[in-house]
Chain A
Amino acid sequence: MRKLVWGAVLAPILALTLQGCDAPREQVTFFERDAVPEKLSAWHLVEAIDGELSPNAGVTPYDLNTALFSDYAHKLRTVWMPAGKSAKYAKEDFDYPVGTVLTKTFYYPKGKNGTILRTDDYSNDYVPGAAGERLQLANVRLMETRILVKRADGWQALPYVWNKEQTEATLQIAGDASRMKMVSESGDSDDFTYVVPDRNQCAGCHADNHSKKALHPLGPRARHLNKDYTYGTGTQNQLLHWQQIGYLTGLPEFAEIPRDADYADISASLDERARAYLDINCGHCHNPSGPAGYSGLDLYHEETVARRYGVCKPPIAAGTGSGDHLFDIVPGQPGQSIIPFRVGSTNPGAMMPELGRTLVHEKGLALLRDWIASMPGSCS
């Protein structure tokens, strides 16, 4: 109980620090399944106010060790739970209370002349003094905010698309597509189509058990959340923070909590980094009960049989995706392996993942190639 009290005390303080001297905000509003508002602002979760995109009181940002790649989009993720409710820890999917609302806002740092920037640097995204919390709208182009809301009968996915003025986002269950020009740090530019998935496509990833069809949050799981985050109140491990603000109970001894590697952290082994990358980008489909279970290729973190995670595994229904190669992974031969071919393709008929990107993630691809190049042995 002490933790809940802590949360109750902390929330108003946070609200004060976040709001400054502005008028008090309306509280987060929970809508029933069949009464979903057309406008994102009605939820009072993350709102565009005074040139900032700011989370409301109790709407807590979080980050992942290794995140899904989505065309270099930057993401602001938040979690909110109704007063007095908490999620129960589990090794895989936390038992989130009914009423939990997760948001993921996709945005890009702005470049010149209406372009967007391709960069891993988040530092200019935020309002000064509010790193990790509030986005400076003058510096970023908001694309969409996806909401996952836990109902009594399961999670519901709702895609909201931001207007050009960055004042409001509107529900688009059929998704959206817009042409963009992205400029990299070296000055190269790419024209690409940013695609907002439709609501069924949300399920394409979030229903990681294909038969049951039930949606689940993919990112906010123990192994992905187990890292430090810099909150307005200081830096803290996210799971401990969630426990502290009353959002999580049943947290085991710290040593028992799994932790996926950060794919870009070169102090971790190639194997840990590559498997973490495959886990978050592929494991939601490529697990035995997932939508790609029929492929026999299992890329979720628990798979330990090398053939099942691709080593010397022949393709089944890869079609164009085989890239004229015989095996998913040929040890030592990234150029002869199907996985890097598909991750490096932008042809919708060949590329992997099938949804969520139209560009190649160069760093992720390089990691997978290095990983395969480092593998000893052969397939013959």
Chain B
Amino acid sequence: MKTAAQKMGIAGVALAAVLAGACSKDVGTASPQADQAQASASKDFQKNLLEQLISAKTGDVIELPAGTFHLNRSLSLDVDGVTIRGAGKDKTVLSFKNQIQGAEGLLVNASDFTIENLAIEDTIGDALKVNEGKNIVIRNVRVEWTNGPATENGAYGIYPVRTTNTLLEGNVAIGASDAGIYVGQSRNVIVRNNRAESNVAGIEIENTIGADVYDNVATKNAGGILVFNMPNLPQPGHSTRVYNNKVFKNNTENFGHKGTPVAAVPAGSGVVINSNDNVEIFDNDIADNDTANVIVSSYFMAGYYTDKSTQKAFDPYPEGIYVYGNKFSGGGGSPGLMKLKALKVAEFGLSGSLPDILWDGAVDANKMVDGKLPDALKLCVDNGDAKVLNVDFQHDFKNITTEMDSHQCSLKKLPQIVLDFDKPQGDGKEVAKVEASDA
């Protein structure tokens, strides 16, 4: 079988020539022919790639050469067992700057899928979406909106939804108007060694069961790392561990679209848990997030909850949240919500700061035993002298407190997420082998 690289060799050569031409343009010697040649090389590339994706067979490796390729229509892949591999996340660039069609850059509905070593830039909608599939690897992929944070940017960068056994590692996500890296309604997920920068939400785990989020960097987002549960969905999520991450200076103004769940996240949020259960936040380095380094809140606080908007069975309370061993510094000095700003001034003075952990204080009265929540449902904090600010959202901020007694508890630790195919340095072949023996 011909690889894409072989097929595209000609386009690649043409493109190299074109790139040289494009450079010379800067010094004023470029010709219209060079522009045309570039457009034509990209057109060939697009058609070849579309045909490769459509005709792909299980086991195929689609290799993309180095270069910047302009695509104006979205790509999709439906075949299981395919690898798409570029020459590097700064070398092979699929640019969708002039996209006229499609809600994504690349849409995948396939299992045993690996994509690595390339960049997807400036898609009009989501950059890379995987909608259903098992054994998904997204590695060393950069998704970026190159004009920086802007509301008109596409919504999601890396976006696996309804997947099982998913590894996201070594990726970079920049400028998404919703979440840079978003895992929704999935099971068994590892998100590690990624960098999320200048998105509304850096990394978001939503309605997902079993996720380990570690060794990531989240900075300059409005919210760094989010673990959410949303109502009206087929799968409620639980059990996420957020550890060993660096989550700092997530103070970019929230540029999300009103009405989207992340638009309710105040700028300056480090790690945010909303409505999700059994979440551990430990051994992270969380610093200088202006609203709070950690926020634990219920769906009520998102402002969307009404009896009409939310299915009856939905549990809006975050329960079984365990915060321990993190290194907190700075933060809380300039909350991103007016109400919290006023509260900060009233409680901690003009030059003061909110404590590291902000909690809306909402608890489910139906689950109380003798007037107290059982330990397993509590917000437990074992984090040096870090304090919890309970803003008593359910009673309109009446009983604001920083008492820590009710948080001095420990929770049973969650198991590590293990993916059978997980070999950090493994190439596509190894992955395929492990999966085959799995089947």
| B2 close to chain A: CB less than 8 A | no
Nearest Cβ in chain A — how far from B107, in angstroms? Answer: 8
| B347 close to chain A: CB less than 8 A | no
Inter-chain contacts of B59 with A (CB < 8 A): none
| A195 close to chain B: CB less than 8 A | yes
| B311 close to chain A: CB less than 8 A | yes
Residues A322 and B258 in contact in the complex (CB < 8 Å), given A316-B233, A354-B102, A379-B309: yes
Inter-chain contacts of A294 with B (CB < 8 A): 131, 161-162, 184-185, 233-234
Nearest Cβ in chain A — how far from B400, in angstroms? Answer: 26
Q: Which listed residue, A288, A312, A318, A349, touches B309 by the CB 8 Å rule?
A: A312
Residues A313 and B232 in contact in the complex (CB < 8 Å), given A195-B73, A348-B125: yes
- Chain A residue with minimal CB distance to B51? A174
- In the assembled complex, the Cα of A26 lies from the Cα of B2 at a distance in Å of 38
- In the assembled complex, the Cα of A209 lies from the Cα of B297 at a distance in Å of 35
| A317 close to chain B: CB less than 8 A | yes
Please tell me if the beta carbons of B78 and A315 are within 8 angstroms of each other in the complex: no
Inter-chain contacts of B311 with A (CB < 8 A): 307
Segment of B148-156, B365-373, B391-399, B422-430 in the binding face: B148-156
Inter-chain contacts of A314 with B (CB < 8 A): 230-232, 259, 261, 304, 309
Residues A326 and B101 in contact in the complex (CB < 8 Å), given A307-B309, A314-B309, A316-B233: no
| B31 close to chain A: CB less than 8 A | no
Scoring B72, B103, B132, B159 by chain A CB atoms within 10 A of each residue's CB, the highest score goes to B103
Residues A349 and B257 in contact in the complex (CB < 8 Å), given A173-B51, A175-B73, A198-B50: no
The 5 listed contacts between A and B (C-beta, < 8 Å) are A198-B50, A201-B76, A294-B131, A324-B258, A349-B103
Q: Count of B residues near A, CB < 8 Å?
A: 55
Nearest Cβ in chain A — how far from B228, in angstroms? Answer: 10
Main secondary structure of the interface of B (DSSP, over half): loop
Please tell me if the beta carbons of A348 and B131 are within 8 angstroms of each other in the complex: no
Please tell me if the beta carbons of B232 and A213 are within 8 angstroms of each other in the complex: no
- In the assembled complex, the Cα of A200 lies from the Cα of B257 at a distance in Å of 30
Q: Which listed residue, B54, B101, B177, touches A199 by the CB 8 Å rule?
A: B54
- In the assembled complex, the Cα of A311 lies from the Cα of B307 at a distance in Å of 12
| A308 close to chain B: CB less than 8 A | yes
| B53 close to chain A: CB less than 8 A | yes
Inter-chain contacts of A239 with B (CB < 8 A): none
| B345 close to chain A: CB less than 8 A | no
Inter-chain contacts of A174 with B (CB < 8 A): 46-47, 50-51, 54
Please tell me if the beta carbons of A307 and B51 are within 8 angstroms of each other in the complex: no
Please tell me if the beta carbons of A317 and B72 are within 8 angstroms of each other in the complex: no
- Taken residue by residue from 177 to 221, chain A's Cβ proximity to chain B (1 for < 8 Å, 0 otherwise) reads as 100000000000000010100111101100000110100000000
Please tell me if the beta carbons of B100 and A203 are within 8 angstroms of each other in the complex: no
Among residues 374 to 431 in chain B, which have CB atoms less than 8 Å away from a CB atom of chain A? none
- Chain B residue with minimal CB distance to A318? B260
| A332 close to chain B: CB less than 8 A | no
Please tell me if the beta carbons of B51 and A348 are within 8 angstroms of each other in the complex: no
- In the assembled complex, the Cα of A174 lies from the Cα of B43 at a distance in Å of 12
| A98 close to chain B: CB less than 8 A | no
| A236 close to chain B: CB less than 8 A | no
- In the assembled complex, the Cα of A318 lies from the Cα of B178 at a distance in Å of 9
- Chain A residue with minimal CB distance to B133? A211
* Interface pairs A-B: 7 shortest CB-CB: A319-B155, A322-B259, A349-B125, A174-B50, A324-B258, A354-B103, A200-B76
Please tell me if the beta carbons of B54 and A198 are within 8 angstroms of each other in the complex: yes
| B326 close to chain A: CB less than 8 A | no
Nearest Cβ in chain B — how far from A296, in angstroms? Answer: 4
Residues A349 and B304 in contact in the complex (CB < 8 Å), given A200-B77, A324-B259: no
Inter-chain contacts of B47 with A (CB < 8 A): 174
| B339 close to chain A: CB less than 8 A | no
Please tell me if the beta carbons of B55 and A173 are within 8 angstroms of each other in the complex: yes
| A375 close to chain B: CB less than 8 A | no
- In the assembled complex, the Cα of A315 lies from the Cα of B50 at a distance in Å of 31
| A338 close to chain B: CB less than 8 A | yes
Please tell me if the beta carbons of A323 and B257 are within 8 angstroms of each other in the complex: yes
| A291 close to chain B: CB less than 8 A | yes
Given A213-B109, A320-B151; 17 other pairs, CB 8 A cutoff: A195-B73, A195-B100, A195-B101, A198-B73, A198-B76, A291-B131, A294-B131, A296-B234, A312-B309, A317-B178, A319-B154, A319-B257, A323-B259, A349-B126, A355-B102, A358-B100, A380-B308
Please tell me if the beta carbons of A177 and B100 are within 8 angstroms of each other in the complex: yes
Please tell me if the beta carbons of A204 and B76 are within 8 angstroms of each other in the complex: yes
| A293 close to chain B: CB less than 8 A | yes
- Taken residue by residue from 290 to 311, chain B's Cβ proximity to chain A (1 for < 8 Å, 0 otherwise) reads as 0000000000000010101101
Among residues 115 to 134 in chain B, which have CB atoms less than 8 Å away from a CB atom of chain A? 123-126, 131-132
Among residues 300 to 344 in chain B, which have CB atoms less than 8 Å away from a CB atom of chain A? 304, 306, 308-309, 311
| B99 close to chain A: CB less than 8 A | yes
Please tell me if the beta carbons of A347 and B124 are within 8 angstroms of each other in the complex: yes
Please tell me if the beta carbons of B161 and A177 are within 8 angstroms of each other in the complex: no
- In the assembled complex, the Cα of A198 lies from the Cα of B75 at a distance in Å of 9
Inter-chain contacts of B51 with A (CB < 8 A): 173-174
